[in-house]
Amino acid sequence: MPGSLTLSDDDRATLAGERGDGARFAMRILVRTAEAMGARTLLDVSSAHVDGCLYHGRAGLDFARRLIDGGAEVSVPTTLNVSSLDLLHPGLVRLKPETETEARELMDAYLTMGCRPTWTCAPYQLPERPTLGEHVAWAESNAIVFANSVLGARTGRYGDFIDICCAVTGRAPASGLHLDGERRARTVFRIGAVPGRLLEDEAAFSAIGHLVGRAARNAVPAIVGLPPSATEDQLKALGAAAASSGAVAMFHAVGVTPEAPTLEVATGGHEPAIDVSIDLPAMRAARDELSTVQVGTSVGSVSIGTPHCSTIELRRLAALVEGRRLAIPCYANTGRDVLAEIPDVAEALRAAGVTIVTDTCTYITPIIERAATPVVTNSGKWAWYAPGNLGFDVAFATLEECIGSAEAGYLVRDQETWGDG
């Protein structure tokens, strides 16, 4: 409540306008939000990841202009999330001209404030990323959950507006996942007998994340039974799905993620509110819940890379499509910095007929034509949001099933992998 938040001398100076009107406005929004969160103080952050550059209407532009008009600039290294446009591949996004103009103005506004033009939802794939125990202010639900869970950095569940306020002031509310006690698991999920072959695919991790998010909602879950070899890409898929079906901002994968050497450490010894098993039938149910069409249905395109593909994922995709004839459009979303690392792979993908999308993503902006639906994806997040965002039918599948479907022109399932039948 108002009154319980204690500000430093520097904070008060910023709030009084001593660093300019833009910084004053940013601190005012930050203080009000910190009060709503019940924070007692603010703390320093070492970086920020800003989501407000994706256009959802005039309010975002009004907000950014208010900061710029007051001379606001970021005070810590700040990366930018996906936008509404693909600046590297003009013509790919089909926005109305006036919307495109405002979307571009919004992007430029954030560059004016000193943010880096990274345009990716996976800032953790960039070379400089936060490390264990480091406080940051990240927005974008999948980036938040990855930073907290996989990197062991500390960020609250920040959203549009507060992200840039933290970047400008270099401060964030000392509450939530910034604090030790809030990072302990309150729910436990145990992976039962699931074929090892299925657990090699990111789609399995998406399905697990989907189930965890559904049941855990906004509590921190501990997941027991994931392979110690789980990759960052797999944990990315899990976190992104859990942050879509629920408000999960951190998970522990026991024996995998840095703050969960054991279940006892992950829970802090507390009795969990929920302790449930995830078995193969539950994972098939998640797969089917994330699909609006059945096996054998004619499909119109494939979309990979939500969150953005890593270099490893793009290499795997390139190996899978090599020498195969894709009957339908296939889109791969990735970050421009990741793409620049592997020009040979990018070339191979394009030669095989894959359309590479950067700076944005196929589920938030008009790229895929309605005629090219239903869409097959290996992303739980894409499958969760696309029916509402785009009004498209969708099928959730493993990467191999996605490419098999692209070749066949209809949805194929590997019944052995999923244990169907």
Partner 1 sequence: MADATRVLVTGTASGPVVVLDEPLSFWGGFDPTTGRLVDTHHPQVGAALGGSVLVMPAGRGSSSSSYVLAEAARAGTAPVAVVLGEPDPIVALGAIVAEELYGIGLPVVVVPTPGLVTGRHVTVRADPDGTVELAAD
Sites of contact with partner 1 (CB under 8 A): 1-2, 25, 28-29, 32-33, 36-38, 51-52, 54, 56-60, 62-63, 66, 139-141, 144, 156-163, 176, 217-218, 243-247, 384-385, 387-389
CB 148 within 8 A of CB 177: yes
Query: How far from 117 is each of 86, 100, 305, CA to CA, in Å?
Result: 12, 17, 19
252-253 sheet: strands from edge to edge? 252-253, 221-224, 187-191, 274-278
Residue 354: strand pairing partners: 330
For partner 1, the closer of residues 28 and 104 by Cβ is: 28
Q: CB 400 → partner 1: shortest distance, Å? A: 26
For partner 1, the closer of residues 176 and 300 by Cβ is: 176
Which residues neighbour 356 within 8 Å (Cβ) at sequence distance 6 or greater? 89, 331, 332, 334, 339, 346, 349, 350
Strand locations in 157-273 (E) = 171-173, 187-191, 221-224, 252-253
For partner 1, the closer of residues 246 and 404 by Cβ is: 246
Question: Within 10 A of 231 (CB to CB), how many other CB atoms are there?
Answer: 16
Q: CB 316 → partner 1: shortest distance, Å? A: 27
For partner 1, the closer of residues 158 and 194 by Cβ is: 158
Q: CB 10 → partner 1: shortest distance, Å? A: 22
Q: CB 319 → partner 1: shortest distance, Å? A: 32
Q: CB 245 → partner 1: shortest distance, Å? A: 8
For partner 1, the closer of residues 91 and 391 by Cβ is: 391
For partner 1, the closer of residues 244 and 405 by Cβ is: 244
Q: DSSP 3-state assignment of 120?
A: coil
Q: CB 346 → partner 1: shortest distance, Å? A: 28
Residue 109: strand pairing partners: none
Q: DSSP 3-state assignment of 186?
A: coil
What's the CA gap between 152 and 376, in Å, rounded?
Answer: 32
